[in-house]
Amino acid sequence: MRKIREVLRLRYEVGLSALKIAASVKVARSSVGDYERRLAAAGLSWPLPDGLSDTELERRLFPPPPKVSSQSRPIPNWQRVHEELRRSGVTLTLLWEEYRAAHPEGFAYSWFCERYGEWAGKLDLVMRQNHRAGEKLFVDYAGQTAEVIDRSTGEVRQAQIFVAVLGASSYTYAEATWTQSLSDWIGSHTRAFAFFRGVPELVVPDNLRSGVRRACRYEPDLNPTYVELAEHYGVAVLPARVRKPRDKAKAESGVLLVERWILAVLRHRTFFSLGELNAAIAGLLERLNDKPFKKLPGSRRSAFMQIDQPALRALPAEPYVYATWKKVRVHIDYHVEVDGHYYSVPHALVKKQLDARLTERTVELFHKGQRVASHMRSDLKGRHTTVREHMPKSHREYADWTPERLVRWAEKSGPNTAGLIRHILNRRAHPQQGFRSCLGILRLGEQYGSDRLEAACQRALKMNACYYKHLASILDRGLDRQPIPESPNLTLPTTHDHLRGPNYYQ
């Protein structure tokens, strides 16, 4: 109390400012003003009355709070507090302020937090985690499998069980798939989002190979297809840390419940198809989600309807279309190979490495994140799918020429020119092998004129000299202006003296 007396002396006797008093006595400046207000509230003035002891001065400046019996202080509804904490943006501070607003004589904030912690500690681990509404979806595969028998062969296959659990309500989804491969993993996510009729903020998987290509405690490397799924639905993927089971306690609990309340119940049943197994799982899943909680009121379904469902974001207009990614390199013919078929890309990307996105019907090619080509997927091995704009200019000009176009151009000169072009193209195993010769012949018309070319072609056809060199020679020597010589009619003798004839052998 000596400091308080000194503060009051400096203030009322010396008349120093609060700032100087605080610097001199080494107290906060706000404390100086607080002591002044307490002095006035206690009905005292400076100088203090003689004989006022420090104990009495402290009692009058800092009177104890009025005693309020615990019976008159209402105990908060901890179950309600626990449920409210799952809602987005709700904190213990906000709930305590609401409690004190309704009960001004209620307990202090520290007591509120301590008592809630004691109450929550009595719940199961997965129940006392404060997951926000619509925040997290935990996904994993069950350790157990389910048997499916092939009717035709009698082969027994083990189906994998996918489990997804919402964090706030523990609402659960489960289904059977043949494998844990990427296609089944992605398909299960798509069907889980449809089951929940909404999308959470985060998806928390285990470090499964299908979802995480390289497990890492700090920066796990996600599969590109998984990243694309997350982008399509607008969610973030937050893999559980390696060897940290508490990061996915909801998934562990959901798997345990599915194994006990679904797989154990089905252990004596025989299934002959995956669809039949999933129908049985769906029926038992309804019962699991309707099962009442043991330590909280309601069920997973009621908690989902009240907490999670209103906070989930809407599904996109179309479900995600499964696609795989692979690295490809552009060949010198500006095509990339995908499953034995060749697809064109812009010729400037020759020898570059591209990312190929493959769906059931399309092939999309990306360079540094930018799509550079898109094709319909083809199953024809060894064939090419080529876009004209991807070709160099010289190749485009060559590709413009087709047998039909060459014949149409030749018809402008006349029927003999067209006939000669057809003759050249027809006698080649591949018409393209005669393009160069045909183009040379048609260009002779630009040099000598269409009439002379038509006459030269008539002469070449008559003489069976259907070659560029022969035609060029005819035009160069002017033979096209000369009459075409008639072929002599050669008559063969009907009898020959040196032949015996058929009568000889009779």
Short-list 229, 471, 198, CA closest to 357? 229
**Predicted pLDDT at 127:** 45
Q: Are 289 and 171 in contact (CB under 8 A)?
A: yes
Pairing verdict, β 172-177 and 362-367:
unpaired
The CATH topology of domain 2-61 is Arc Repressor Mutant, subunit A (1.10.10)
Q: Are 133 and 89 in contact (CB under 8 A)?
A: no
Nearby residues of 450 by Cβ (< 8 Å), 6 or more positions away: 412, 413, 414, 417
Give the span between the Cα atoms of 160 and 144, in whole angstroms.
8
Distance from the Cα of residue 146 to its chain's centroid: 29
In the numeric block, the tokens 């009051």 are attached to 8
What residue spans define the domains of the chain? 2-61, 70-122, 136-311, 324-397, 401-481
Confidence (pLDDT) at 125: 46
Query: Residue 140 in contact with residue 163, Cβ under 8 Å?
Result: yes
Looking at the chain, how many residues does it have?
A: 506
Spatial separation of the C-alpha atoms in residues 161 and 178, rounded to whole Å? 9
pLDDT at 496: 55
DSSP conformation class of 59: H
Nearest to 408 by CA among 400, 417, 399, 395: 417
- What pLDDT does 285 receive? 94
Residues 200-228 as b or e (16 or more Cβ within 10 Å = b):
bbbbbbbbbebbbeebeeeebebbbbbeb
- How would you classify residue 414: left for phi > 0, otherwise alpha for psi between -120 and 50, otherwise beta? left
Around Cβ 135, how many Cβ atoms within 10 Å?
19
- Tell me the C-alpha to C-alpha distance, in Å, between residue 430 and each of 176, 405, 438: 54, 16, 13
How far is it, in rounded angstroms, from Cα 433 to Cα 429?
8
Q: Is 156 in a helix, a strand, or coil? A: strand
**Beta strand pairing call for 384-385 and 341-344:** parallel
Within the chain, which residues score under 50 in pLDDT? 125-128, 214-219, 490
* Distance separating alpha carbons of residues 455 and 474, to the nearest angstrom: 10
Fold agreement (2-61, 136-311) = no
- CATH tag, 136-311: 3.30.420.10
Q: Over 378-400, what HEC string results? A: CCCCCCEECCHHHCCHHHHHHHC
Question: In this structure, are residues 211 and 323 in contact, taking their beta carbons and an 8 Å threshold?
Answer: no
* pLDDT score, position 332: 81
**pLDDT given at position 248:** 61
CB-count burial class (<10 Å; 0-12, 13-18, 19+) for 365:
buried
Q: In the 8-state DSSP scheme, what is residue 361?
A: S
- Please name the residue that has the structure tokens 């990614």: 325
At residue 197, φ and ψ (nearest 5 deg) are: 60, 35
